[in-house]
Amino acid sequence: GVIIKALSGYYYVKPLGEDGAPIDSESSVQCRGRGVFKNRGISPLVGDRVKYVLTENGEGTVTEVLQRETELIRPPMANARLAVLVFSLKEPEMNVQLLDKFLVHIEQAGLTAIICLTKSDLVDEKSEQKYKEIIELYKKIGYEVIRTSSKEGLGFNELKEHLAGEISVFSGQSGVGKSSLLNAMMPGLALETNEISMKLGRGKHTTRHVELIPLDNGGFVADTPGFSQLDFLEIGVEELGDCFREFREYSGGCKFRGCTHTHEPGCEVIRAKIDGLIAESRYQHYVQFLEEMKDKKRRY
């Protein structure tokens, strides 16, 4: 099975069939972990594929954690391969700097990013051109970009195709439309959205723990409460350039090894920027993040 939730010492394991897809008709089994994991320094994570045995009263015991494909620290989860970065085009306006920051973390974690732009229906003609250019920019770098509207039913079949059979994390600021999108993709899901919580006169219930939601196509998604504390502590200064995908094409040609692409002579990244092959906005964010990293590392 796969651990879809971990809470108060229990692991909730969704049974998987021979093909690795969840068995829809079987609900999750509440399992205890065996003490043996702690001794070996393995702590089962949401997303882990595990072996378990059934014990009395319908509960179970996790006996083995299978090899992980990926491991994320924030949110703590295993085996995610896709990260859906959700940004709204309006309300709130898209924050391209934050997108680049997410992308750095995704590249470092080795996940595949899908950029999902929500609330397409709210975009006026004036902003349309600006967004077209942004979309083109990220597509050119090699990212999948999908525009959606939960109001108009746009884009979710396309998105859903990507999620089939995968464990995905949905990340984005509160209010960008993550819950609305997941609800629209999965009739019957009924996650609480902001609109509903407003009506009920309270802020949206935000979960602190990670939980996987099974889709009807063999995929699972984790609706994470946004990477709010995105810091760069786990990334080395010399790694940052490689987390900007399109830089890699040029950085091999830099004259100096360990070139930071800021002031060095013979820097091919700077040259590519001047030639218009690397977008000004991406380069600027790179320099900003580099400063931020150096600052943080000085302070800690």
Q: Which residues bind ligand GDP (CB under 6 A)?
A: 118-119, 121-122, 149-151, 172, 174-180, 193-195
With respect to Zn ion, which residue has the nearer C-beta, 210 or 267? 267
Cβ atoms of 168 and 222 within 8 Å: the answer is yes
With respect to Zn ion, which residue has the nearer C-beta, 185 or 269? 269
With respect to ligand GDP, which residue has the nearer C-beta, 184 or 267? 184
With respect to ligand GDP, which residue has the nearer C-beta, 121 or 166? 121
DSSP state of 52: E
Nearest distance from C-beta of residue 254 to ligand GDP, angstroms: 40
Nearest distance from C-beta of residue 204 to ligand GDP, angstroms: 6
Nearest distance from C-beta of residue 277 to Zn ion, angstroms: 13
Angle at CA of residue 76, ends 87 and 29, nearest 5°? 110
Give the whole-angstrom CA distance, residue 178 versus residue 139.
22
Q: 113 has which bridge partners? A: 83
174: partner contacted, choices ligand GDP, Zn ion, none (Cβ within 5-8 A by kind): ligand GDP
178: partner contacted, choices ligand GDP, Zn ion, none (Cβ within 5-8 A by kind): ligand GDP
In this structure, what token pair is assigned to residue 89?
């085009």
261: partner contacted, choices ligand GDP, Zn ion, none (Cβ within 5-8 A by kind): Zn ion
79: partner contacted, choices Zn ion, ligand GDP, none (Cβ within 5-8 A by kind): none
Per-residue burial over 252-272, b if 16 or more Cβ lie within 10 Å, else e, is: eebeeeebbbeeeeebbbbeb
For 158, residues 6+ apart whose C-beta sits below 8 A from its C-beta are 146
Helix axes 156-163, 178-185, angle to 10 degrees: 80
Helix (H) or strand (E) segment spanning residue 199 = helix 194-199
For 298, residues 6+ apart whose C-beta sits below 8 A from its C-beta are none
Contacts with Zn ion, residue ranges (CB under 5 A): 254, 259, 261, 267, 269
Helix (H) or strand (E) segment spanning residue 288 = helix 280-299
Nearest distance from C-beta of residue 201 to Zn ion, angstroms: 54
With respect to ligand GDP, which residue has the nearer C-beta, 91 or 238? 91
Nearest distance from C-beta of residue 283 to ligand GDP, angstroms: 29
With respect to ligand GDP, which residue has the nearer C-beta, 175 or 218? 175
Nearest distance from C-beta of residue 149 to ligand GDP, angstroms: 4
